[in-house]
Structure 1
Amino acid sequence: MFFIKLKHITFALLLTEKVKELSKYNIDIYGLEDKQYDYDMESGDAFFEEMEQDLIEHGHFKTHVILSKSATMIQLRFHTTGSVTLTCDRSLETFEEPIDSDERIILKFGDHNEELTEEIEIISRNTNRINVARYIFDFIALSLPVKKLHPSLRTEEDDFDLEDGEEEGTLVYTSGAEEEGEEGEDEEKIDPRWEALKNLKK
């Protein structure tokens, strides 16, 4: 009986720590005036552990978020810099991979919450708070090189392949009121690397 009670207490503490870690990425948007706001956030090993994924275990990042609010939408700009610990595909040695990412998300207000695709989402006008943890993680993950090679083993061709896999992207979350032509253009611009992240979240 004591063991079961202790187990429940341990689980509750772990759950509390998880909530505490991810709550650092909450942004209260209810009542914000229509202007620009700046936020600075730091992410470490605890962040990656709480994201419930096995792509990244160790890393340290700083993210500067610029939130621009208007009556109809919220625009979020993310500038994330830092490094992640990777394991070389060839030598199995660990190494630090620098990351420098600039991304943007647009949230348009609608009358309900609905995720249409990985890139398009409706958020309610009554939304009080948004959490940007998943956005930050996804942008870091998209910045990872396709080939994980230790710097000492890289050739010019390898470096070209790494850079080719790190193109910047833009996510657009909308109310679904866009014209069909614009929606078609958004679908054509979907980064194929999102498929890998989609499978990771399953």
Structure 2
Amino acid sequence: MNALRAYDINIAGLENKRYEYDFTSDDTFFAALEQDLIGKGNVQTHLTLDKSETMIRLDFHITGTVEQVCDRSLDEYDEVVDTRQMMLLKFGDHNEELSDEIELIERNTATINVARYIFEFISLSLPMKRLHPRFRDEDDADDETNGKLIYRSDPETEDSTEDQPAIDPRWAALRKLSDN
């Protein structure tokens, strides 16, 4: 947890204006978070903090690389991270997460730790399918046909509309209701 102290921002004495911070996250950062998603990496975060009377706006720009394991070959590779995210911290009577982008914090909060936000934003920027770059080109070619439904019109079925049985008028009236 001591490695994460570098991500503390003292907000108690800040005036209502814009502040900028830079953080570098390496292997010790990811190890200190006690998670299994990312083991190693080197990421730079530029944080812009806008403080006002009622809230704090945090704008993150995170760039760098994190080590991932390919789902197909189990080879390790570096995944590029480049994301911009925003977080709002509104002052209130208690701490509560209102949504993914908005949290309530107590008015007397002295410091905020942005390590959790940085990790969450890095995690969200990673692709669900972890694929080594050497497989990505061939996978793009496969995706054009596999896993997609391709509708083709068959000229024989288009002309056979007169072969279909007549629709009961009661069902036709119900179908009109469901189309509205």
Smaller-chain TM-score range?
0.7 to 0.9
Name 1:74's counterpart in structure 2.
56
Aligned partners of 2:68 and 2:79 also within 8 Å: yes
Name 1:92's counterpart in structure 2.
74
Unaligned runs of 5+ in 1: 1-17, 162-202
Distance 2:87 2:42 in 1: 22
AA in 2 matched with 1:88: C
Tell me if 1:64 matches 2:46.
yes
Name 1:110's counterpart in structure 2.
92
Distance 1:26 1:158, change over 3 A: farther
Name 1:48's counterpart in structure 2.
30
Unaligned runs of 5+ in 2: 144-180
Name 1:148's counterpart in structure 2.
130
* Root mean square deviation of aligned Cα: 1.8
Deviations 1:3-27 (A, max 9, x none): xxxxxxxxxxxxxxx32x1000000
Distance 1:130 1:60 in 2: 22
Distance 2:33 2:64 in 1: 18
Distance 1:119 1:35, change over 3 A: closer
* TM-score, L = length of structure 2: 0.74
* TM-score, L = length of structure 1: 0.66
What is the number of residues matched between the two proteins?
142
Aligned partners of 2:45 and 2:62 also within 8 Å: yes
Distance 1:78 1:58 in 2: 20
